[in-house]
């Protein structure tokens, strides 16, 4: 079965739980965006995803992107899987890439969260196809905020509309997570342009036939640049020059990958290619991080979407497949030989696997949509204090979302494969493709280990946990200590704040400690925030329906006990360090 977006679930989370419309109508650019318009946009988005993108996923995996050797001009080309180009051309011509871009740039000026839902669905339906437009919004923001007026005049509108796709060329064979090791050179020219020379690897969509041009954003080093990350500048190098000639940007090959066969992951060689600087010399990472941070929220939504796609397949299969007799409570009518085997959805082990994934999906959606709202609030709210609070939220929660939900996408998809038994391990049902496709999201846009270090070492410890404490306190505003679920969330928040204070003291004695426990700390924060999500769902009218309560029950019995375990692991390590000092 192909993926089917569930608009009713999204409406409940956005409208009923988050009251998103009220929040974005406080922002001047979205004052006229009512709930009906947002619902209509999402309804049409769901139709496009289900009808045009989802049916292409198997061909994308089995046929994939094909590398063709160099032609007479010396340039290689990549041909995408059947149907990919037509679907993409319809996608940008219908205006979907420009959903949240500014109207003055040719965009529709709608709230970011609507774009977030669209890309969640696209990733669930066809992760390989979605890799192509997935970087567009980040590239748009990067060019909009850092490029010269001359570059904007040529490239901004094309990228905003999606008529031209973009890449993010960071990684080199010897420089993966440590971008400061990058060696690609940029040599200034008398006309103000630069000549780029070097090789970049793992470039998603570095070459393809989806669009008539590709805009490459490339990190490179000027001749007098110091070593390390402060010596990197950012450059824009198109596949085709403004007058139509081919730029010296070569795709040397595409990688043979575990998954994402529909997306060409390219080795790109810049052979004295022409480019123009974006932003200031030596501040390339600052400009690029505009692109990367936007991409990380999208990657978190990829995780949520892929997990939902896996769950849909497993849930449908469990409601059709019959195996053995399911255990029954003593009061239930016993099965007889005449009734035959039961649906596997009736077996507690299968029910558990499915409900656990549902809890992660829906709780993650609420957090991701809240973060989407905060992204717009950080840009457009009239109160500077509210803007600052929103920026703090995004800074803290983005690495949590990216790491925890891409991790769960892979683990949860594997659990969903288990529901199929041996049938899940063969290609017929498509579940094994989701397992393969989801694994890379734990790696790209900053590995999950880097996200954990970013959260604890760079964002929590420097101010002693003050910003995190304020963010947690802000979530208490709409909670009721007299309600048990809310009270439990408040206790977890208090434990998290105490744990943070202990970590601050222990880290003074052992500088290695934060790096050792960062993954456990991020996981604890994710579980605390997940419990907040479900407390809000259960407290909302309609949240007591079976659709939500089955997953809520799994939250409390199967997921949240891990919080105490993670806290205990970190506390034990801290006590060992602090005890040694006291002795």
Residues that are catalytic: 445
Instruction: Report the number of distinct structural domains present in the chain.
Output: 2
In a domain, 1, yes or no: no
Same domain flag for 247 and 319 = no
Taking a C-beta distance cutoff of 8 angstroms, is the pair 138, 291 a contact?
yes
Same domain flag for 116 and 145 = yes
Same domain flag for 300 and 282 = no
Q: Residue 81, SS3?
A: coil
CATH number of the CATH domain containing 407: 1.20.140.10
Taking alpha carbons only, the member of 522, 515, 506, 468 closest to residue 582 is 506
Same domain flag for 67 and 155 = yes
In terms of Cβ atoms closer than 10 Å to its own Cβ (0-12, 13-18, 19+), residue 360 is buried
In a domain, 564, yes or no: yes
Same domain flag for 282 and 298 = no
CATH number of the CATH domain containing 67: 2.40.110.20
In the numeric block, the tokens 């004695």 are attached to: 509
Same domain flag for 185 and 227 = yes
Residues forming a β-bridge with 254: 266
Same domain flag for 367 and 449 = yes
Phi-psi bin for 192: left (phi > 0), alpha (psi -120 to 50), beta? left
CA distance 548 to 530: 14
* pLDDT by position in tens, the chain (length 583): 899 999 999 999 999 999 999 999 999 999 999 999 999 999 999 999 999 999 999 999 999 999 998 888 889 999 999 999 999 999 999 999 999 999 999 999 999 999 999 999 999 999 999 999 999 999 999 999 999 999 999 999 999 999 999 999 999 998 778 777 889 999 999 999 999 999 999 999 999 999 999 999 999 999 999 988 889 999 999 999 999 999 999 999 999 999 999 999 999 999 999 999 999 999 998 887 766 666 788 999 999 999 999 999 999 999 999 999 999 765 555 555 556 899 999 999 999 999 999 999 999 999 999 999 999 999 999 999 999 999 999 999 999 999 999 999 999 999 999 999 999 999 999 999 999 999 999 999 899 999 999 999 999 999 999 999 999 999 998 899 999 999 999 999 999 999 999 999 999 999 999 999 999 999 999 999 999 999 999 999 999 999 999 999 999 999 999 999 999 999 999 999 998 766 5
Annotate 406-441 with three-state secondary structure.
Answer: HHHHHHHHHHHHHHCHHHHHCHHHCHHHHHHHHHHH
Same domain flag for 70 and 114 = yes
In a domain, 346, yes or no: yes
Q: Phi, psi (5° rounding) for residue 566?
A: -65, -45
In a domain, 330, yes or no: no
In the numeric block, the tokens 């149907």 are attached to: 83
Taking alpha carbons only, the member of 454, 469, 531 closest to residue 500 is 469
How many other C-beta atoms can be found within 10 angstroms of the C-beta atom of residue 429? 18
Same domain flag for 108 and 150 = yes
Same domain flag for 319 and 261 = no
Q: Residue 423, SS3?
A: helix
Q: Output the pLDDT for position 112.
A: 95
Cβ-Cβ contacts under 8 Å for 171 (sequence gap 6 or more)? 179, 200, 201, 202, 203
In a domain, 333, yes or no: no
Residue 479 sits in which domain range? 290-325+342-582
Same domain flag for 280 and 296 = no
In a domain, 331, yes or no: no
In a domain, 335, yes or no: no
Q: Output the pLDDT for position 229.
A: 84
CA distance 86 to 580: 65
In a domain, 336, yes or no: no
DSSP 79: E
Same domain flag for 282 and 349 = no
Tell me the DSSP string of 333-368.
PPP-TTT-SPBGGGSHHHHHHHHHHHHHHHHHHHHH
Q: Six-digit token pair at 374?
A: 């905060």
């Amino acid at each position: 079965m192909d993926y089917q977006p569930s608009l009713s679930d999204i409406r409940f989370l956005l409208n009923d739980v988050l009251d998103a419309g009220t929040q974005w109508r406080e922002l001047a650019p979205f004052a006229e965006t009512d709930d009906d318009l947002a619902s209509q946009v999402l309804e049409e988005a769901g139709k496009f995803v289900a009808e045009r993108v989802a049916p292409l996923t198997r061909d994308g995996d089995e046929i994939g992107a094909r590398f063709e050797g160099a032609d007479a001009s010396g340039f290689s080309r990549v041909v995408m899987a059947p149907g990919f180009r037509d679907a993409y051309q319809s996608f940008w011509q219908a205006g979907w890439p420009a959903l949240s871009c500014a109207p003055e740039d040719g965009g529709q000026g709608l709230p970011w969260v609507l774009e977030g839902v669209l890309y969640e669905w696209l990733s669930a339906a066809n992760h390989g196809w979605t890799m192509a437009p997935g970087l567009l919004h980040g590239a748009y923001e990067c060019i909009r905020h850092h490029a010269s007026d001359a570059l904007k005049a040529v490239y901004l509108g094309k990228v905003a509309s999606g008529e031209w796709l973009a890449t993010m060329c960071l990684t080199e064979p010897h420089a993966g997570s440590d971008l400061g090791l990058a060696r690609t050179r940029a040599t200034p020219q008398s006309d103000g342009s630069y000549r780029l020379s070097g090789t970049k690897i793992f470039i998603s969509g570095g070459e393809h036939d989806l669009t008539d041009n590709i805009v490459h954003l490339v990190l490179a080093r000027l001749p007098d640049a110091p070593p390390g990350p402060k010596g990197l500048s950012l450059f824009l190098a198109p596949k085709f020059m403004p007058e139509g000639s081919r730029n010296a940007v070569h795709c040397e090959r595409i990688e043979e990958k575990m998954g994402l066969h529909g997306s060409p992951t390219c080795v790109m060689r810049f052979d004295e290619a022409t480019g123009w600087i974006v932003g200031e010399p030596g501040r390339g990472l600052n400009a690029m991080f505009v692109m990367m941070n936007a991409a990380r929220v999208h990657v978190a939504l990829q995780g949520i979407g892929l997990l939902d796609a896996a769950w849909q397949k497993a849930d449908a299969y469990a409601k059709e497949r019959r195996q053995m007799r399911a255990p029954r409570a003593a009061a239930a009518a016993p099965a007889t030989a005449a009734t035959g085997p039961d649906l596997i959805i009736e077996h507690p082990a299968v029910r558990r696997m499915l409900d656990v994934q549902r809890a992660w999906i829906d709780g993650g959606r609420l957090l991701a949509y809240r973060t989407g709202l905060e992204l717009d609030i950080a840009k457009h709210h009239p109160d500077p204090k509210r803007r600052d609070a929103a920026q703090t939220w995004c800074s803290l929660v983005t690495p949590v979302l990216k790491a925890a939900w891409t991790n769960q996408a892979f683990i949860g998809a594997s659990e969903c494969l288990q529901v199929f038994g041996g049938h899940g391990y063969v290609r017929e049902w498509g579940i094994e493709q989701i397992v393969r496709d989801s694994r890379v999201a734990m790696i790209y846009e900053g590995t999950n280990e880097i996200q954990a270090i970013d959260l604890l070492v760079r964002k929590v410890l420097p101010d002693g946990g003050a910003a995190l404490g304020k963010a947690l306190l802000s979530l208490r505003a709409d909670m009721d200590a007299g309600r048990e679920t809310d009270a439990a969330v408040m206790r977890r928040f208090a434990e998290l704040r105490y744990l943070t204070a202990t970590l601050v003291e222990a880290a003074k004695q052992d500088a290695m400690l934060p790096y050792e426990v960062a993954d456990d700390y991020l996981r604890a924060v994710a579980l605390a925030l997940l419990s907040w999500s479900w407390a809000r769902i259960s407290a909302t009218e309609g949240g007591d329906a079976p659709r939500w309560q089955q997953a809520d029950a799994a939250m409390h019995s199967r997921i949240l006990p891990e919080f105490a375990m993670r806290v205990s692991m970190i506390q034990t390590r801290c006590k060992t360090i602090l005890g040694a000092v006291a002795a």
